[in-house]
């Protein structure tokens, strides 16, 4: 190969030819090199922090999950306190809280409306449904909130009637919410 030679515009041509292509030997621009070095340095720092330390390097996803978990925990704790202190009075109070009655309504409509009617009258278009009306303040098994809760939890003492124990399908808090919904539908006295 011939000695390296300078071309007219002072660009060095390297000595070798590869596949018929001659290579210029220009210096890379400093800004480009600088960027490259920064990424290298940053790689080492990031690698070290991510893999070698226990610094909190959570992804956005994990961060959101963590905050949701905290909120869920708090809600659960509140609900547990509420259940522990469950009484006629606290159930009455729940019946004025749209969060509970709303949740109760949703449960009622999927699990209970078939027999007790969407409007709690135990009627559908004039036809009597199997259940008893739940909005007439007349109670076969007692109308105290805890009594209503008990019949829903444990079912009717008369197993031939078809009112099953819902404790296998609903959690105590869900049953409390259904009770709060039923209470909210009682005629106001």
Contact residues toward ligand HEC (CB under 6 A) are 111-112, 114-116, 130-132, 134, 139-141, 148, 151-152, 156, 158, 161-163, 166, 178
Which CB sits closer to ligand HEC, 86 or 163?
163
Closest approach, Cβ 78 to ligand HEC, in A, equals: 23
Closest approach, Cβ 85 to ligand HEC, in A, equals: 21
Which CB sits closer to ligand HEC, 69 or 162?
162
Any residues with CB less than 8 A from the CB of 113 and at least 6 apart, and which? none
Which CB sits closer to ligand HEC, 13 or 115?
115
Closest approach, Cβ 72 to ligand HEC, in A, equals: 24
């Amino acid at each position: 190969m011939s000695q390296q030679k300078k071309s007219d515009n002072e660009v060095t041509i390297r000595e070798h030819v590869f596949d018929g292509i001659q290579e210029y030997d220009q210096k890379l621009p400093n800004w480009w090199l600088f960027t490259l070095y920064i990424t290298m340095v940053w790689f080492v720092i990031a690698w070290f922090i991510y893999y070698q330390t226990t610094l909190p390097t959570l992804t956005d996803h994990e961060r959101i999950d963590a905050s949701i978990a905290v909120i869920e925990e708090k809600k659960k704790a509140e609900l547990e306190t509420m259940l522990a202190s469950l009484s006629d009075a606290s159930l009455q109070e729940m019946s004025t809280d749209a969060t509970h009655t709303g949740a109760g309504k949703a449960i009622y409509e999927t699990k209970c409306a078939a027999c007790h009617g969407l409007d709690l009258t135990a009627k559908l278009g004039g036809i009597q449904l199997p259940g008893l009306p739940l909005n007439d303040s007349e109670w076969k098994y007692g109308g105290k909130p805890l009594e209503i809760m008990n019949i829903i939890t444990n079912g009717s003492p008369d197993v031939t009637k078809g009112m099953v124990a819902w404790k296998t399908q609903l959690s105590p808090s869900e049953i409390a919410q259904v009770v709060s919904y039923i209470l909210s539908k009682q005629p106001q006295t």
